[in-house]
Structure 1
């Protein structure tokens, strides 16, 4: 089965680990609009796309015990490199050598021994832009995360093309998984890229949206709509055939009482793997009529 995962943040990297045992061909399309931490500093000084979530996805798929994993996980302390990850710096160097974030990621992934495909949403830099009800424009994920009121709409600061291979992967997929993660800063960015949006609309793959498992701390916590409904109103198109709510996830794994969240994880990889192991056994979902969407996946189990 060919599976494409779309998103960003910790949610996407954990999703990749969870879904990898259940498919033969796995592709991730990663949001590249982050402007905080080491990633933000590198973007300010060197330009280019955000590299942090990409690094996280690649390292999540690598052998935790390998020397190369430990090396690229290293984060410097003190001096001009304070706070920077060696993995981020390596990806930056490869990007400057190849003039292509997509090619740089492919090389980095190969160095880690990963067979999965990790793609940026675009090779071209852009930022997330939110417009408030009073018309004020807020640019940058960090700034948007600190909002106290929901924006009227969210877009990209400039239009960009999808990364090479992203559209083809979506068209060829059997299943597309979107999320989990923060609605605005993790889930939305890639789906605001016009080429990707069109591919999501046209693909024959079953499109599954997984709501955020970790509690939102951003302005989204004040949302009074279902996340999938709000997201579709912001995007202006229907992006999923099936929406799996947090309650549905809990029900699906309710009989797995021995699943314990690792303290350093915002999303439970074992739990996610269990969920998709159960869902992928069910041809009914994968052959779902695109005109009927439900957020109560548990009722099918």
Structure 2
């Protein structure tokens, strides 16, 4: 950011620097009045004599020169002293921070005043999006599905009677502003033949937090403070639910893990029981959002499953937020075989009961032939953007290059963040008053995100 960040409005720092400057000027003027009759008169006489010895005539040139030099020296001493004081305080309070004080203040202020963005989904797709979202705003809320019944989450769910912590853990880590070591520890999965084998340490951590704090929602709030999360993670519901699906071949499959592994086409998704209450904070986050984002992630088991909770579905439809759906880049066997972006949108709006989306973000970046061949073996293929079909539904389509540069065809967190950020500030430009310095903020944070992702890869 450099010096430009000092000019940015809203960081609540310049006003105090101005007040400090006024105080120094008042003190200097007062001292001049106090000593004018004696000390200042003697100093002025001495300067006139020096001027005469140097030039052979009386004049105020030397006085002005020494006055200016003294002012510059004084300002330099004040600036240096203040910087040293601030640095000493920062090193004592936050020794691990590598950013300058101005960078820290600027980022904190801009993030805290950022748009309220609520993201609904689950699985890896949601956590991928959140890795970039935390560089856009500090007012991001992830409303996470709780239908997972496989692996470590499934075991803890059945043994402890808690909602599955797996997707909550992924989102929590994605939004955390913590050290990489902490992230690796929470993602660690035990191996071997012991009872802990297969469990993620992060899942056990959340289970312990829920037990000690009196519930999963309270446990997540406490964990967010420990991990310095930029935002909140909220489960869709606190009740024990199961996903089930009617398949096109007439079979009925119970459980999220079983649906994903059945390799059959879903005809209708159900939630059992079908009328559980939503988390109040999740409903509030949806209703108070400036932008509401659904996806990316498995269409049925990560996105649509949230709409099966009646209060969530009602809040999504009624919310005055700008509503955005981020379409996947590849089809998923058994869920979206043969689907293009249009079929994704059509299915999603079908479960909502009406058309509610304002924008759909689709990938426009080509997938290499080698990658197509590799994914074809797995029964997956690139999702067509279907721009014309979607726009005929009255929904605007945003095309962007969203694919990661890795061997796997998946969304890139930085590219997703840029797409959401561009839409966010474009809307603020035309409807809510664009702040000029947000451009520098966006550019700065995208560089930070790029560096962070570079270190992780």
Q: Give the structure-1-normalised TM-score.
A: 0.85
| Partners of 2:221 and 2:410 in 1: CA distance | 27
Cα deviation 1:215-273 (Å, max 9, x = unaligned): 4233312337621102222443334222222336994349xxxx853468842111112
Superposition map of 1:1-301 within 5 A: 1-63=115-177, 65-78=179-192, 79-133=194-248, 136-158=251-273, 159-223=275-339, 226-247=343-364, 251-253=399-401, 261-262=405-406, 266-283=410-427
Say whether the 8 Å CA contact 1:253–1:274 is kept in structure 2.
no
Say whether the 8 Å CA contact 1:183–1:227 is kept in structure 2.
yes
1:133 deviates by 4.4
Q: 3-state DSSP class of the match of 1:80?
A: coil
Gaps of 5+ in 2: 1-114, 365-384, 386-396, 432-457
Q: 1:260 to 1:245 in 2, by over 3 A?
A: closer
Say whether the 8 Å CA contact 1:30–1:121 is kept in structure 2.
yes
Q: Rg: which structure is higher?
A: 2
| Partners of 1:131 and 1:110 in 2: CA distance | 41
| Partners of 2:156 and 2:320 in 1: CA distance | 38
Say whether the 8 Å CA contact 1:64–1:70 is kept in structure 2.
no
| Partners of 1:72 and 1:269 in 2: CA distance | 20
| Partners of 2:150 and 2:354 in 1: CA distance | 29
1:284 deviates by 8.4
1:171 deviates by 0.8
| Partners of 1:125 and 1:239 in 2: CA distance | 28
Cα deviation 1:10-47 (Å, max 9, x = unaligned): 11111112222222411000011011111112223222
Q: 3-state DSSP class of the match of 2:324?
A: strand
Say whether the 8 Å CA contact 1:279–1:285 is kept in structure 2.
no
**Larger RCO, structure (CA 8 Å, separation 6 or more):** 1
| Partners of 1:237 and 1:98 in 2: CA distance | 39
Q: 1:222 to 1:283 in 2, by over 3 A?
A: same
| Partners of 1:133 and 1:253 in 2: CA distance | 34
| Partners of 2:356 and 2:256 in 1: CA distance | 22
Say whether the 8 Å CA contact 1:178–1:187 is kept in structure 2.
yes
Aligned residue pair count: 283
